Amino acid sequence: MAERVPVIAGIGLSDYPKAPHLDSIGHHVLAAQRALADCGLKKSEIDGFMCAQGNFAAPDNTGAMAEYLGLNPRFFDGTAVGGSSFELHIQHAAMAIGAGIATSILIVYGSDLYTQSGNNPGFGNREAGSKVPGAAQFESPWGNTLIGGYALAAQRHMYQYGTTSEQLAAISVACRKHAQLNPNAMYRKPLTVQDVVNSRLIADPLHLFDCCVVSDGGGAVIVTTEERARDLRQPPVYILGAAAAHTHWNVSQMPDYTVSGAARSGEEAFAQAGLKPQDVDTVQLYDSFTITAMLMLEDLGFCKKGEGGPFAASGALELGGSLPMNTDGGALSSCHPGMRGIFLLIEATRQLRGQAGEAQVAGAEVALACGSGGTLSAMGTVILGKERK
Amino acid sequence: MTDVTAVPVADRPVPLLDSATRPFWEATKRAELLVQECLECGHRQFYPRSICTVCGAVPGWMTSEGKGVVHTFTVVRQTGAYPFNQWTPYAIAVVELDEGPRMMGGVIGCAVEDVRIGMRVEVEFVSVNDEAALPFWRPSAD
C-alpha cells in the first residue's frame, strides 16, 4: 500500500458566539456543510465520522448525527472525554487513514450551550438532596464547583512557584487583544491586567476574567489523505504529531496539581513530528481558565515548569511576540460552547493556510493545538505543519 | 459558611453507597475515617474502590488518625447551585492525610481568608443522614 499521509483538508465553523436560530444538531450540520464547501469534497466521499456527544440518548450522539447527516461510515469514533475529544479524534483519524481503514473523515461538534443556559450552565452540579453515585460522592457533597476544580491547580501553582494573579491575567489580556481582531468574538472591549485582577473572585484565586466565556458554536474538520487533497480547494495542512495522555478524571484525584498530562502528550507529539517547542510558530491552547493554558505552556516545554507566570507576562503570547497564542481570542474572549477542542484545530489550520486575516502570524509553518478534557484530566496534543515532515 | 460550628446539611447532595464505598460511609457514622491499604502491595488509596490502583489486587482497609495538611484549596464565592448558593463563601480543600492519601472536603472552624496550603487540619464528621457523615476539616494545633 502506498504511503497514506493524513492532512486536514477542510474546516468549517457554524455561527457563534450567540446563535439562537440553531440547536445543537443545527450547529453540527452547518459546520459540516461549511467544511465540505471549504475543501470541495463531496459528502458521499466521507467514509469516516467522529463526534463527541458522550450521551448516546442525546439527539446529537455519534450514531444519530451520522444518520441525520446521511452518512454510512465504515470507520467511526465517539470518543468523548470533554474538550480535548477532538484532538484525540485527530490522533485516531491519522491512524485510520494511515492504516487504510478510512480515506475522508468528518470530525464535527456543535452546541447551543449559551442559548440553552446563558452564562451559568452549572456544569457538574448535582441536584439538591440527590444521592451521588461513583467517585463524585467524594466531591459533590461539599459543593466544589467546576471553576473551583481549576482553582485548586492555580492555588497550588502560586504556592509552589510564586505565580501571581497578574501573571495569570496576562493570558486573558493576550486573548482579548486577539479577540479584537475577530469580529465574531464574544467579548472585544479592551481588557487590562488590572481589569482582570480587579474583577470579582469566583473561586480563589480565579477571578471572573480568568474564566472562559459561555457561548454557542460548532466546528468541523475534514481529514483525508495528501493524495486526495491534491485537487481539493485548500492547501493541505499536515498532521505531524498527535498524542494523548490521561492522568485522572475527578479533580480530587489529580496526581500533581501543577502538572497536566500535556507533559506526556506533548513529548510524544513532538517526538512523532521530529520537532521541538522552539519550532512552533503559534499555539492554540485550551484556555477554559487562565491556569489551564499556563500549565500547558510549561508542560509542552515552551518554558520551564514554574516559569509560566513570567513567560505569560513577557508578552510572548501576543501577536508580534515569540509564541502568539489563541489568535482567534480563545475561550477566554471568543467562543466556548462547552467543548472547545475543535476550534483549536480550526484556528491552527487557518494560521497555516495563511487565512487568519489580521490575526495572521507571519510565516507560520508549524502550529500546535492542545486540548484539555475533564478537569485537566485527558489531554490531547496535535502538531500541524504547512509542509510534510 | 465561615467559622461555623454547625454545618448546614439540608438539601446537600449525599453519597449513594455502593459495595466499595459502604464500609467507608458506615465508619463515618462511628466517627472513624477509613482509607484503603492494599493487602498485596501495601499501596494506600482514597477514594474507596474495589481494585488497588497500583497492583490490581483487592484492597483492605485501615483507620486514619484523621489528621493531615491542606495540600491545595479554593474559596467558592459564586455558585448558581442550590443549596450551596446560600452558603458562599466557603472553603474547599484537598487534604493530604498523614497516612498518605488525599481527600477533598470542606474547611470549617476558621475564616475562609485564613485557609492556607500547609495548614494542619483534623477531621470533623457532620452527619447528613442515617447512612453517612461527611468529613469536614478544621484547623488543628498539631
- Domain enclosing residue A230, as ranges: 6-118+216-240
Tracing cell 480565579 back to the chain, one arrives at A206
- Indicate if the pLDDT at residue B26 is higher than 80: yes
Residues A85 and A103 in one domain: yes
Cβ contact B117–A156 (<8 Å): yes
Cβ contact A203–B15 (<8 Å): no
Give the pLDDT band of residue A127 (cuts 50, 70, 90): confident
Determine the pLDDT at residue A220: 98
Tell me the C-alpha distance between A384 and A221, whole Å.
Answer: 13
Chain A hits for B12, CB-CB cut-off 8 Å, are: 128-129, 141, 143
The grid coordinates listed for A371 are 486540548
Residues A207 and A104 in one domain: no
Domain ranges of chain B: 22-139
Residues A95 and A189 in one domain: no
Residues A152 and A289 in one domain: yes
Of A145, A159, A205, the CB nearest to B76: A145
Of A128, A139, A201, the CB nearest to B104: A139
- Indicate if the pLDDT at residue B4 is higher than 60: no
Among candidate residues A197, A219, A175, the one with its CA nearest the CA of residue A24: A219
Domain holding A160: CATH number? 3.40.47.10
**How big is the CA angle at A325 (ends A320 and A328), to the nearest 5 degrees?**
100
ipTM value for the complex: 0.96
Residues A309 and A187 in one domain: yes
Residues A190 and A236 in one domain: no
Determine the pLDDT at residue A123: 66
Can you point out the beta strands (E) in A210-334? 217-225, 237-246, 282-285
> Does B129 contact A at CB distance below 8 Å?
no
Residues A249 and A110 in one domain: no
User: What are A269-290's pLDDT values in tens digits?
Assistant: 999 999 999 999 999 999 999 9
Using DSSP's 3-state secondary structure scheme, residue A67 falls into: helix
Residues A286 and A172 in one domain: yes
Which parts of chain A fold into alpha helices (H)?
24-39, 62-69, 85-98, 113-117, 146-161, 165-179, 193-198, 226-229, 262-273, 290-299, 308-313, 341-353
Task: Give the relative orientation of helices A262-273 and A290-299 as an angle to the nearest 10 degrees.
Answer: 50
In this prediction, residues A342-367 reach a mean pLDDT of: 98
Residues A305 and A336 in one domain: yes
User: What are B80-99's pLDDT values in tens digits?
Assistant: 899 999 999 999 999 999 99
User: What are B107-123's pLDDT values in tens digits?
Assistant: 999 999 999 999 999 99
Cβ contact B72–A252 (<8 Å): no
CATH 2.60.40.10 applies to domain B22-139: no
Residues A233 and A255 in one domain: no
The grid coordinates listed for B110 are 476558621
- Mean pLDDT for chain B overall: 95
Residues A284 and A338 in one domain: yes
The grid coordinates listed for B75 are 474559596
- Indicate if the pLDDT at residue B3 is higher than 60: no
The per-residue b/e assignment along A193-225, b for 16 or more CB within 10 angstroms, e otherwise, is bebbbebebbbbbbbebbbbbbbbbbbbbbbbb
Which residue would you say has higher pLDDT here, A53 or A216? A216
- Indicate if the pLDDT at residue B40 is higher than 80: yes
Determine the pLDDT at residue A54: 80
Domain count, chain A: 2
The grid coordinates listed for A188 are 472585544
In this prediction, residues A337-348 reach a mean pLDDT of: 97
Tell me the C-alpha distance between A384 and A328, whole Å.
Answer: 17
Residues A228 and A312 in one domain: no
Of A127, A140, A152, the CB nearest to B72: A152
In this prediction, residues A291-299 reach a mean pLDDT of: 98
User: What are A172-214's pLDDT values in tens digits?
Assistant: 999 999 999 999 999 999 999 999 999 999 999 999 999 999 9
Cβ contact B134–A141 (<8 Å): yes
